Amino acid sequence: MDLREPRSWRRAKNRVVTALMVLSFVLVIIPLGLVLFTVIAKGASVISWPFLTSQIPPSVLPANAGGIGPAILGTIEITALAAVLAVPLGIMGAVYLSEYGGTGPLARLVGFMADVMTGVPSIVMGLFIFSIWVLHFGFSGLAGAFALGCLMLPVVIRSTAEMLKLVPSSLREASYALGATKARVTVTVVLPAALGGIVSGVLLAIARAAGETAPLLFTILTVTAANPDVFSGANTSLPSQIFVNASSPYVGAQARGWGAALTLIAIAFILMIAARFTTARFARYAL
């Protein structure tokens, strides 16, 4: 006996909506697929060891001349310095939110403002560092690192605070019972327990920062020469180099842009996969 309900308008509508959901998924996947495909197809033909290491040539030269060495050096220097500045500050801020502030008004304000700060446009961070630093001390990798650090700070605070709040209070209470001070409990018990989640959040923040262009435009002043001194003098980075090449009319420069884009995406994906790996590897209390 067939117990199924007869075909009806309600069921038809249901099927149409389900089909629309699948369609929307396809609409999301297509651009991602296209972008990745184009970047890999156009970038892979340019990338070679000499391309990754040699100097940035003038835009007019063909694709096989020169490379993006200085830009990779700059991105690594500036992002690493930004992480050195922002990560300890962010973790301490999270310690305040989760361990000291509790649900007091100040802690709630700081948490709320950290959320709001994640929404500040990256170009505004660039303008901010330009007006308080570059105008007085000139362009440098350090200024770029300040701008990237300002972008990373709220992300690190938020993800770390989430992870600290997942640490069971029984761990803290056990340490207090042994007579440990709060600082000692935080440093030797709470932070290590949440380490996997914290590292993963930090890696994601770094991956995002490494791809940012806007905050670097007016802080490092995109040059073509390599500048190993991150603390003084104009510098360059992968994203700013891609930006310059994207608006260039020369085919060779555009090809180098694709190569740089593939390098940048590879760096971001490696960091993201590393983040997943650390979460899985160290996940004891974190999710």
Partner 1 sequence: MTSVGREHQAGPASTLTARRPLGDRSFQVLALAAGLAVLVILLLIAVSTTQQASSWFSAEGTNVLSSNWNPSANQFGALAFIYGTAITAVIALVLAVPVSLGVALLLTQVVPYRWARPVVYVIDLLAVVPSVVWGLWGILVFAPWIQNIYGSVGSGVQGLPVLGSLFGPPTSGASFFTAGIILAFMITPIVTSLSREVIATVPSIDREGAYALGATRLEMIRGVVLPHSQGGVVGAVLLGLGRAIGETIAAALVIGSSATITSHLLAPGYNMPAVIANEFGEATGVFRSALMGLGVLLFLFTIIVNVLARTVVARTARRGRGTLWHRSPPSGRRWTCASPARGGAPRTAL
Q: How far is the CB of 14 from partner 1 (least distance, A)?
A: 4
Q: CA 213, CA 199: separation in Å to the nearest integer?
A: 24
First to last CA, the chain: 47
Cβ closer to partner 1: 83 or 242?
242
Instruction: Centre a 10 Å sphere on the Cβ of residue 212 and count the other Cβ atoms it contains.
Output: 24
Q: How far is the CB of 230 from partner 1 (least distance, A)?
A: 21
Q: How far is the CB of 144 from partner 1 (least distance, A)?
A: 14
Q: How far is the CB of 223 from partner 1 (least distance, A)?
A: 12
User: Which contacts of 266-270 are long-range, i.e. CB under 8 A and separated by 24 or more positions?
Assistant: 267/75, 267/207, 267/210, 267/238, 268/207, 268/208, 268/210, 268/211
Instruction: List for the chain the helix, strand, coil content (%; round to 5).
Output: 75, 0, 25
Reported residue count of the chain is 287
Cβ closer to partner 1: 231 or 269?
269
Cβ closer to partner 1: 73 or 258?
258
Cross-strand bridge partners of residue 140? 233
Cβ closer to partner 1: 81 or 262?
262
Q: How far is the CB of 49 from partner 1 (least distance, A)?
A: 22
Cβ closer to partner 1: 137 or 228?
137
Kindly tell me the burial class for residue 20, based on how many C-beta atoms sit within 10 Å of its own C-beta (0-12, 13-18, 19 or more).
exposed
Q: How far is the CB of 274 from partner 1 (least distance, A)?
A: 12
Q: How is residue 211 annotated by DSSP?
A: T
- What are the phi and psi torsion angles at 233 (to 5°)? 85, 150
Residue 187 token pair: 């440093």
- Helix, strand, or coil here: 174? helix
Q: How far is the CB of 88 from partner 1 (least distance, A)?
A: 8
Name residues whose C-beta falls within 8 Å of residue 43's C-beta, 6 or more positions apart in sequence: 258, 259, 260, 261, 262, 263
Cβ closer to partner 1: 114 or 228?
114
Cβ closer to partner 1: 34 or 228?
34
